[in-house]
């Protein structure tokens, strides 16, 4: 550590070059931070969902609603604690730009299966008893300035009413929040009481539950339970596919295609270019300073110390570039609108840390070896 000043002044020996190299490193790590954040979203961003819930959907596709009558059959499977159901409502509020998800649910069953939502007992009771009631997530309520008692008209592009109209009015009876910071971030949605939907929807859509959410007594039984549920409906018109909630959510993201491949390709293209650039710049900088390194050796620095000094300089360079780049990426993803739920999280920082170590070894070792082998007499003579 006592050599920090020496390393620092070596790095900024030529200010312009150091600045430009840092700028290149900044761009590489800013991209790494942003792109790997996207990647992280597609590879298990739903970690916090926990493993104690299963989702049962129609095997053909989750867009095919399952009939409500399956609920008791699913509940009778050993190990199942409680089952709720959730029907995607597909409502548009005002103009189509303001889209947020709404799900028609049985209120009591929702609270039983999702203890992560925090809501007062009073609001809970009102949601259970109000047939056209709705509860709104805190973030969503803040966005539109909704309060308890407001009436929200939603234009469903999926469910027409029996009279052919598509405008549904929902009364806000409560606002809910998440149990912890992860769940608080997810409160941009709205739950509707299934009662009004089932009563007023056009007759051909009555009695449809959507997908079922199963909460289990013991998460270790997940495989057994999902196999038992799917076996129950095999070869019927309503064949099911049961998977963990996490798997179900990831399935949505994977619909977008092989984002991971594209993102990793771009990241490696960026790093290949940057590796070359910083490598050349670093070795040039050392080459110019060979006489100075020789002077260090004359002063009594050992060969190994000089070599380590050069390595440390490469590391410092990469570290500074990575730090600024990753900070930019982290700030940027923080201020993205909530429609882009990506975050440069700890996982991405760890990736960046590994990249710094690899990069500084790759660009630092060749000039460091060169510094190790300097012959003082030749170097001082400028040979």
- The contact set with another protein (CB under 8 A) reads 16-17, 20-21, 23-28, 30-31, 34-35, 59-64, 90, 96, 157-158, 160, 164, 166, 204, 234-239, 241, 247, 250-251, 254-258, 262, 265-266, 269-270, 272-274, 276-277, 280-281, 284
Looking at the Cβ atoms of 183 and 271, the one nearer to another protein is 271
Q: Whole-number minimum distance, CB 226 to another protein, in Å?
A: 13
Q: Whole-number minimum distance, CB 303 to another protein, in Å?
A: 26
Looking at the Cβ atoms of 199 and 288, the one nearer to another protein is 288
Looking at the Cβ atoms of 60 and 180, the one nearer to another protein is 60
Encoding tokens for residue 39? 């990647």
Q: Whole-number minimum distance, CB 273 to another protein, in Å?
A: 4
Encoding tokens for residue 97? 């730009």
Looking at the Cβ atoms of 87 and 130, the one nearer to another protein is 87
Looking at the Cβ atoms of 308 and 343, the one nearer to another protein is 343
C-beta atoms surrounding 328 within 10 Å: 17
Looking at the Cβ atoms of 64 and 351, the one nearer to another protein is 64
- Rounded Cα gap, residues 236 and 358, in angstroms: 56
Q: Whole-number minimum distance, CB 65 to another protein, in Å?
A: 11
- Give residues with Cβ within 8 angstroms of 99, minimum separation 6: 92, 93
Q: Number of C-alpha atoms within 13 angstroms, CB side, residue 237?
A: 5
Looking at the Cβ atoms of 280 and 377, the one nearer to another protein is 280
Among 196, 174, 187, which Cα is nearest to 89's?
A: 196
Q: Whole-number minimum distance, CB 23 to another protein, in Å?
A: 4
Q: For the chain, what is the radius of gyration of the CA atoms? A: 30
Among 344, 334, 275, 338, which Cα is nearest to 32's?
A: 344
Q: Whole-number minimum distance, CB 220 to another protein, in Å?
A: 21
Q: Whole-number minimum distance, CB 14 to another protein, in Å?
A: 9
Contact assessment for residue 37 and residue 329, using Cβ atoms and an 8 Å cutoff: yes
Encoding tokens for residue 33? 């931070």
- Rounded Cα gap, residues 144 and 153, in angstroms: 13
Looking at the Cβ atoms of 2 and 15, the one nearer to another protein is 15
Q: CA 163 from chain center: how many Å?
A: 42
- Rounded Cα gap, residues 350 and 51, in angstroms: 25
Helix, strand, coil % in the chain, rounded to nearest 5 = 55, 20, 25
Contact assessment for residue 289 and residue 9, using Cβ atoms and an 8 Å cutoff: no
Q: Whole-number minimum distance, CB 58 to another protein, in Å?
A: 8
- Quick check: helix, strand or coil at residue 67? strand
- Rounded Cα gap, residues 24 and 352, in angstroms: 15
């Amino acid at each position: 550590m006592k050599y920090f000043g020496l390393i620092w002044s070596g790095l900024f020996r030529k200010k312009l070059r150091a600045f430009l190299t840092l700028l290149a490193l900044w761009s590489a790590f800013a991209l790494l931070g942003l792109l790997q954040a996207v990647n992280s979203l597609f590879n298990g961003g739903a970690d916090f969902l926990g493993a104690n819930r299963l989702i049962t959907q129609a095997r053909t596709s989750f867009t095919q609603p399952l009939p409500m009558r399956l609920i008791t059959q699913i509940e009778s499977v050993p190990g199942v604690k409680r089952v709720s159901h959730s029907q995607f409502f597909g409502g548009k509020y005002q103009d189509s730009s303001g889209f947020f998800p709404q799900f028609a649910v049985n209120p009591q069953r929702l609270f039983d299966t999702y203890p992560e939502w925090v809501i007062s007992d009073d609001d809970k009771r009102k949601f259970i008893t109000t047939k056209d009631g709705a509860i709104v997530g805190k973030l969503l309520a803040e966005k539109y300035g909704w309060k308890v008692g407001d009436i929200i008209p939603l234009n469903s592009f999926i469910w027409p009413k029996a009279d052919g109209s598509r405008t549904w009015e929902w009364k806000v009876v409560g606002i809910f929040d998440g149990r912890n910071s992860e769940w608080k971030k997810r409160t941009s949605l709205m739950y509707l009481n299934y009662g009004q939907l089932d009563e007023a929807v056009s007759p051909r859509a009555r009695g449809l539950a959507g997908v079922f959410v199963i909460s289990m007594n013991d998460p270790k039984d997940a495989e057994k339970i999902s196999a038992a549920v799917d076996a129950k409906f095999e070869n019927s018109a309503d064949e099911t596919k049961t998977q963990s909630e996490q798997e179900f959510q990831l399935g949505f993201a994977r619909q977008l295609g092989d984002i991971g491949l594209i993102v990793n390709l771009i990241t490696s293209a960026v790093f290949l270019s940057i590796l070359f650039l910083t490598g050349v710049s670093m070795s040039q900088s050392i080459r110019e300073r060979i006489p100075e390194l020789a002077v260090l050796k004359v002063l009594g620095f050992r060969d190994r110390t000089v070599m380590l000094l050069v390595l440390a300089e490469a590391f410092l360079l990469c570290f500074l570039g990575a730090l600024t780049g990753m900070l930019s990426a982290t700030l940027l993803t923080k201020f993205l609108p909530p429609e882009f739920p990506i975050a440069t999280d700890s996982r991405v920082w760890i990736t960046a840390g590994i990249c710094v170590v690899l990069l500084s070894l790759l660009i630092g070792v060749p000039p460091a070896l060169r510094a190790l082998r300097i012959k003082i007499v030749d170097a001082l003579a400028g040979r």
